[in-house]
């Protein structure tokens, strides 16, 4: 029964991840609701409401904030998290999901670079070598991408950088055992800060979004259904992320995440029928192979460090 539960959690995590990416792309590009900051704000609002409900119901054990310094650290992470999600959603306005996922695979490269610059933590030479095909694959895919867009490329690259920065800062700022929070508690405490930043950003960057959102809700029940489903899935990504880590391990989550990118690429091509050249496919393949190699090298490095 335990294995069935674990497989069910992994399947839910996969489905939520891929579906929320595809629905984001549909709303921001195909449907024409071109307000990525507002969409991120709605995601965060739903995440805040449902995470509080999960804690209130006792499904997730609540962890307390350990003072003012701890709260400031969480606020810093919230701002970086907002930047990563907003940039990722902006990129979906301009580039296909397949290309978005390929660029996002460069996150380990930024993680290794930022770890070296910020924490002075050095990886093994083999680990650094495995980052080469990841970058090479993205360069090939970018050159061969039929729907390449400079704004989409830069914002997606920025999202990958921000995700890597969040990971490094989380390890740096929340290193004390008393300060460590699971993903759901971290999300619950980050949500108010993230919501404040997102509301202010929406008012400044997308002032028409609120009116268009209201009109779309009045005119289309389909829009309301898709947006609500999208927001619920965004929360479910965070919930199942925590459950997968609990049932397996952080390393397994990383490996599954690498494979998830490949699934999202294929799903995007099938659903949106965006053109993909043979050279782009080669680039995607090289990047995915690099990610697998990187995961294995990283795992061996951690084992060697423990011995």
Give the per-residue pLDDT at 47. Answer: 87
Residues in the chain: 307
Where residue 139 falls among pLDDT bands split at 50, 70, 90?
A: confident
The C-alpha angle 121, 127, 131, rounded to 5 degrees, equals 105
Is 154 a domain residue?
A: yes
Q: Can you give the residue range of the structural domain that contains 184?
A: 2-122+149-247
Is 297 a domain residue?
A: no
> 123 or 200, which is more confident?
200
Examine the pLDDT at 35 and tell me if it is beyond 90: yes
d(CA 108, CA 135): 10
Number of structural domains found in the chain: 1
Is 268 a domain residue?
A: no
**Tens of pLDDT, residues 221-280:** 999 999 999 999 998 887 787 677 666 655 555 556 666 777 777 777 787 777 777 877
Is 32 a domain residue?
A: yes
Is 96 a domain residue?
A: yes
**Tens of pLDDT, residues 50-64:** 888 877 777 677 788
Packed helices 150-173 and 107-114: angle between N→C axes, nearest 10 degrees? 40
Mean pLDDT rounded to a whole number for the chain: 83
Give the per-residue pLDDT at 88. Answer: 92
> 176 or 151, which is more confident?
151
Is 299 a domain residue?
A: no
Give the per-residue pLDDT at 159. Answer: 94
Lowest mean pLDDT among 40-54, 154-168, 180-194: 180-194
Examine the pLDDT at 301 and tell me if it is beyond 80: no
Percent of the chain with pLDDT over 70: 89
Is 182 a domain residue?
A: yes
Give the per-residue pLDDT at 90. Answer: 93
Percent of the chain with pLDDT over 90: 31
Examine the pLDDT at 18 and tell me if it is beyond 60: yes
pTM across the whole model: 0.82
Give the per-residue pLDDT at 294. Answer: 77
d(CA 265, CA 101): 7
Is 158 a domain residue?
A: yes
């Amino acid at each position: 029964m335990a294995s069935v539960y674990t497989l069910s959690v992994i399947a839910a995590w996969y489905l939520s991840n891929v579906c929320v990416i595809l629905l984001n792309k549909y709303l921001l590009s195909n449907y024409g609701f071109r307000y990525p900051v507002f969409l991120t704000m709605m995601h965060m609002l739903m995440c805040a409401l449902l995470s509080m409900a999960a804690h209130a119901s006792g499904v997730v054990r609540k962890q307390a904030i350990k003072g003012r310094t701890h709260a400031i650290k969480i606020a810093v992470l919230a701002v970086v998290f907002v930047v990563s999600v907003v940039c990722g959603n902006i990129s979906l306005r301009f580039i296909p999901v397949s290309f978005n996922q390929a660029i996002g695979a460069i996150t380990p490269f930024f993680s290794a670079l930022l770890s070296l610059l910020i924490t002075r933590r050095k990886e093994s030479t083999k680990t650094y070598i495995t980052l080469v095909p990841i970058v090479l694959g993205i360069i090939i895919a970018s050159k061969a991408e039929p729907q390449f867009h400079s704004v989409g490329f830069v914002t997606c690259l920025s999202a990958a950088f921000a995700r890597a920065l969040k990971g490094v800062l989380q390890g740096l700022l929340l290193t004390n055992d008393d300060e460590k929070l699971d993903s759901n508690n971290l999300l619950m405490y980050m949500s108010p800060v993230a919501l404040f930043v997102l509301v202010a950003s929406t008012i400044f960057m997308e002032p028409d979004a609120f009116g268009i959102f209201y009109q779309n809700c009045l005119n289309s029940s389909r829009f309301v259904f898709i947006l609500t489903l999208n927001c619920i899935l965004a929360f479910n990504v965070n919930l199942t992320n925590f459950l997968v880590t609990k049932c397996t391990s952080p390393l397994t989550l990383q490996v599954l995440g690498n494979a998830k990118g490949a699934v999202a690429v294929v799903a995007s091509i099938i659903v949106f029928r965006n053109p993909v050249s043979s050279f782009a496919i080669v680039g995607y393949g090289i990047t995915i192979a690099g990610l697998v190699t990187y995961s294995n090298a990283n795992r061996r490095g951690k084992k060697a460090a423990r011995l």
